[in-house]
Structure 1
């Protein structure tokens, strides 16, 4: 009998490592925890704004746990569907399925079970609407983005990014049991933010996507065209944040305007460099976009928690 510390076979159907810790780490990696962090950053502020204050800590915890499991489910199923792509891309070639650390069948079951449990957690801990919205995000991400859009159109991330916008709506629904216009505005903010965020990353890894046969915009368009679209979506993102002015105070407006100005300056510099054919650093915009989105939503949470009179 093989010791638990001995390496297993390296076939596609068996994990190479049987150490419990390494197996647990591999399953955890399937959920793409860094992506989940960003999604949760938008959920909590949406709940604060929906409550117009600080919501129940228990409700926040349940929503975060259910939301994290939902996102983990979608990401795990994405890894199953995209394992062939991941194997040829430098950015993703270390993922568990590529190295056969988790059998594909087990990863599929893991993703489905996470999705089912996330639905139950949100239904029992929050309400049916929040659970249904979260599950719809899983289905959209897997069946619309991953299986249809990603490999067929350069607009894949534009429409597929809608799944990543759902946490704000789920958070709002968990508090109110409904979906009102501020939730839709926050959805729009994340929706419009996604293309400049992801296209700036894809500019750096366009050779990866080309090798994998994925028509991300930087693969099929010129650098100038991509940077121009990034600039347009960046302006649209900043503009959409101001639609929340009627339900916020000067605190949110000040932070949103300052953060938006910094975001637009970097996007403009990227476009100017592309137009002149000069050296570019799209990753600067990528990293700044993360900070910008976090700033906008932290401002929403602070504004709601402080409870100053709204400008509207």
Structure 2
């Protein structure tokens, strides 16, 4: 395995701050937060207070950022091998490993006490549990040992819907659990589609991501199965959460598109088609949860 680079002799404060921000994987955090606020709107049956939204989003951002930074600390050896990740801060030496780990633990602690103090204890515990699951179950155990890594590890990425619901209600119910299932089953086809493009990277780093150890056909079959499961769960969510026409139509149409693109990957076994599925999968989640928010706000008012 390659080693990380030596720290640069000098680094401007702007670049140093940017390096620490990069440790948190902000693009992933953006996607997680897309699911949080609409879930809060469903739980509230309207628009929650701005203060609660801000407190939950800030706490969730810190919690996810801390988990992602620990992930980069642990994976710095394989990140150095993979083309997709070779420019991450711990590989280039922009941040030293000990500093990265200290940063990660610090913001995770801040996240817990922030959510406990400004939201509620249940939300704080859920955020911390998601971090621990992501670090110990996914990063330290499954990622390097099992093709089910992203399947089981995806539970951490589904936690924001539980946090958003509990922030409003201070409890959980079937509605957020179904939404949890939506994100849980969405994560594997989303990530496998990307991994098809970078399967050689994963193979060189000896990470058993499904497309790196199984055929494209076998991977595509699983992508279709999970896409169908996502579609079914989005339709189940409508009666469970008492959703209306706007959401139901969106779930039907978006689910058909997501499943159709997944079938396209199976039919062509093409990395370029897989990347189109990956790109659409991000739009899929964004539009689905936007429809959730719009549906509630239209029916119950701002």
CA contact (8 A) 1:16 1:100 kept: no
* Counterpart selection for 1:66 from 59, 75, 80: 59
SS class of match (1:168): helix
Structure 2: how far apart are the matches of 1:63 and 1:142? 21
1:105-254 alignment runs, 5 A limit: 105-246=98-239, 247-254=242-249
CA contact (8 A) 1:45 1:297 kept: yes
Deviations 1:62-118 (A, max 9, x none): 000000000100010000000001000000000000011111000000000010000
- Paired residue for 2:288? 296
Q: How many Å apart are 1:245 and its aligned residue?
A: 1.4
Instruction: Give the direction of change, closer, same or farther, for the CA distance of 1:47–1:27 in structure 2 (3 Å limit).
Output: same
1:42-53 alignment runs, 5 A limit: 42-53=35-46
1:53-92 alignment runs, 5 A limit: 53-92=46-85
Q: How many Å apart are 1:15 and its aligned residue?
A: 4.4
Which has the higher mean CA deviation after the structures are superposed, 253-262 or 202-211? 253-262
Q: Which runs of 5+ in 1 are unaligned?
A: 1-10
Structure 2: how far apart are the matches of 1:42 and 1:196? 18
Deviations 1:252-303 (A, max 9, x none): 00111111111111111111113xxx67521000000111111111111111
CA contact (8 A) 2:45 2:300 kept: no
- Paired residue for 2:23? 30
CA contact (8 A) 2:197 2:272 kept: no
More helix per residue: 1 or 2?
2
How many residues are aligned here?
A: 296
- Paired residue for 1:255? 250
SS class of match (1:97): helix
Larger radius of gyration: 1
Q: TM-score, normalised by structure 2?
A: 0.95
